[in-house]
């Protein structure tokens, strides 16, 4: 179900916005420690998909089974920043898979300098993805997680998406509506487009609670997007929190120029609260 209009929306968005985000990005910041962190074990994994072999990062509590969370990175892909974020989530009591969304073209790190990688080097990777690939990958990764003994299959699964990962997280919830109980998107790109399969038009196919954290500068460029998202979620009768954060696009990963520690922590606390309720 590849929609060229949706892809064009995302391409225009990236050309307009990501160069400023990537330029002069900071080194990887250390995220705050998790209070009462659980012990975790981490490893690199390879997942067979209909299109090849996906390299990914898997981290889970060392004791017992926990609710699963599938993490979709931003345009810079799987890298130390997202490993750090994934480990932190696992230390909070979740079994976490962070995937390389660009595995069809290149193994991670797809952005060798993280957030400092020139945007021109990673844009073609993102532009090669299609909604059909999002759906296929989401289905495969959900099934892979459910095959792991570290996953508590009696509890719902969560998925998160950053920037371009926002639409992928929503599409993941459509292919596994009975498994995905929570979706979190952070400075999501192309969440509301004119395409028939725009993410905001797909939420009615899901059964999840939503946390949608919108960047302030994204909202200024398209203030009606949040309204469309709220309207769609209300129409689907799904629990949702759609909020504009006083931060710039890309503020959550700790290796971007615009990383905002305070607003990132605020979004993180809301994510944990959403998961605590929706994945119970």
pLDDT of the residue at 90: 98
pTM of the model: 0.92
> Could you tell me the residue range of the domain that residue 42 belongs to?
4-24+33-278
Confidence of residue 104 (pLDDT cuts 50, 70, 90): very high
- In this prediction, residues 70-97 reach a mean pLDDT of 97
Q: Is the pLDDT of residue 23 over 90?
A: no
47 vs 12, higher pLDDT: 47
Output the domain CATH number for residue 171: 3.40.50.1820
Residue 22 or 268, more confident: 268
218-229 pLDDT per residue, tens: 999 999 999 999
Tell me what the pLDDT averaged over the chain comes to.
92
pLDDT of residue 27: 63
pLDDT for res 5: 40
> In the structure, what pLDDT confidence band is assigned to residue 143 with cuts at 50, 70 and 90?
very high
Q: State residue 115's pLDDT score.
A: 81
For the chain, the three-class secondary structure string (H helix, E strand, C coil) is CCCHHHHHHHHHHHHHHHHHHHCCCCCCCCCCCCCCCCCEEEEEEEEEECCEEEEEEEEEECCCCECEEEEECCCCCCCHHHHHHHHHHHHCCCEEEEECCCCCCCCCCCCCCHHHCCHHHHHHHHHCCCHHHHHHHHHHHHHHHHCCCCECCCCCEEEEEECCHHHHHHHHHHHCCCCEEEEEEECCCCCCCCCCCCHHHHHHHCCCEEEEEEEHHHHHHCCHHHHHHHHHHHHCCCCEEEEEECCCCCCCCCCCCCCCHHHHHHHHHHHHHHHHHHCC
Amino acid 6: pLDDT: 43
pLDDT band at 14 (very low <50, low <70, confident <90, very high): low
Domain count along the chain: 1
pLDDT of residue 187: 98
Counting residues of the chain whose pLDDT is more than 90, the rounded percentage is: 84
């Amino acid at each position: 179900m590849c929609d060229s209009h949706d892809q064009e929306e995302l391409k225009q968005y990236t050309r307009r916005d990501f160069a400023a985000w990537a330029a002069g990005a900071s080194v990887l910041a250390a995220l705050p420690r998790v209070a009462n962190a659980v012990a975790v074990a981490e490893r690199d994994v390879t997942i067979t998909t209909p299109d090849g072999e996906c390299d990914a990062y898997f981290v889970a509590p060392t004791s017992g089974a926990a609710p699963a969370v599938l993490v979709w990175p931003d345009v810079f892909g799987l890298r130390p920043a997202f490993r750090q974020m994934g480990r932190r989530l696992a230390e909070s009591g979740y079994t976490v898979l962070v995937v390389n969304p660009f595995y069809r073209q290149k193994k991670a790190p797809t952005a060798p300098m993280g957030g400092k990688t020139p945007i021109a080097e990673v844009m073609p990777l993102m532009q090669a993805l299609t909604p059909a690939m999002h759906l296929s990958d989401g289905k495969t990764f959900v099934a892979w997680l459910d095959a792991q003994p570290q996953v508590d299959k009696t509890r719902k699964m969560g998925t998160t998406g950053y920037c371009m990962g926002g639409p992928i997280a929503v599409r993941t919830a459509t292919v596994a509506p009975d498994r995905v109980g929570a979706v979190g998107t952070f400075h999501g790109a192309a969440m509301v487009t004119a395409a028939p399969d725009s993410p905001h038009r797909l939420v009615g196919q899901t059964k999840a609670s939503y946390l949608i954290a919108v960047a302030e500068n994204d909202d200024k460029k398209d203030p009606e997007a949040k309204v469309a998202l709220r309207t769609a979620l209300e129409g689907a009768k799904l629990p949702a929190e759609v909020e504009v954060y006083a931060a710039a696009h890309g503020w959550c990963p700790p290796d971007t120029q615009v990383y905002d520690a305070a607003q990132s922590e605020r979004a993180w606390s809301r994510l944990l609260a959403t998961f605590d309720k929706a994945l119970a």
